[in-house]
Amino acid sequence: MSVLTFAELLYDSEIGTSLRESLFAFPIVEGVHLIGLALSVGLLFFIDLRLVGVLFRNVPIPQILQQLRPWLLGGFAATMTTGALLFAAAAPKLIVLPVFLWKLSFIALAGLNAAWFEFKWGRHAHDWGHGASAIPAGVKFGAWASLILWSLVVITGRLIPYLSY
């Protein structure tokens, strides 16, 4: 089965059709998608900016990670779930858009970066201390990569309606 065939199956599915034909479903799902995005990427920006030493320099990194992680993960769950629903409502149109494929690529790279951070560095955050110089260079690199990649995800996502034909 080709990707386009799968996209057409999603589009013609009960969920895809319901979202497209409902007066309220699509805007509600899109609204939840944006709220989830604000929670996930917005809070991730605070964490990343703390890791690079720009914001909240006096807040211990383990404290900020512990307090924001549940909200951030909840936001990502809402964003990914609603993103899949929005994709089902327009799959054949989206799958052929280069900007959509770029968005998916940036999401994949950002996810790999997050996994790398968690497995390589996240478990050792309590060892870093409070100063910016105590934060390992790899952590700062990962935080900058996260800021750039998630910015690109948001930018390419916002370009989709403007670059559709």
pLDDT 10s digit of each residue in the chain, 165 long?
898 899 999 899 999 999 999 999 999 999 999 999 999 999 999 999 999 989 888 888 888 888 999 999 999 999 999 999 999 999 999 999 999 999 999 999 999 999 999 898 877 777 776 555 678 888 999 999 999 999 999 999 999 999 876
pLDDT number for residue 61: 86
The reported pLDDT for the residue numbered 158 is 93
Angle at 151 between CA 148 and CA 153, to 5 degrees: 110
pLDDT of residue 136: 86
Measured CA distances, 45 to 29, 34, 68, 114, 147 (Å): 23, 15, 11, 13, 6
Calpha distance 161→43 (Å, rounded) = 25
User: Which own/partner pairs from 108-114 qualify as long-range (CB within 8 Å, at least 24 positions apart)?
Assistant: 109/149, 110/146, 110/149, 110/150, 110/153, 113/142, 113/145, 113/146, 113/149, 114/146
Query: Using only C-alpha atoms, what is the Rg of the chain?
Result: 18
pLDDT of the residue at 125: 75
Do the beta carbons of residue 37 and residue 106 sit within 8 Å? Answer: no
Q: Which residues neighbour 148 within 8 Å (Cβ) at sequence distance 6 or greater? A: none
CA atoms of 92 and 5, how far apart (whole Å):
8
pLDDT of residue 1: 84
- pTM tops 0.75: yes
Q: What pLDDT, on a 0 to 100 scale, did the predictor assign at position 60?
A: 85
Per the structure, the complete domain to which residue 147 belongs is given by 3-163
Rounded CA-CA distance 165/87 in Å is 16
Per-residue pLDDT at 45: 95
Give the per-residue pLDDT at 101. 95
Give pLDDT, residue 130: 59
As for how many domains the chain has, the answer is 1
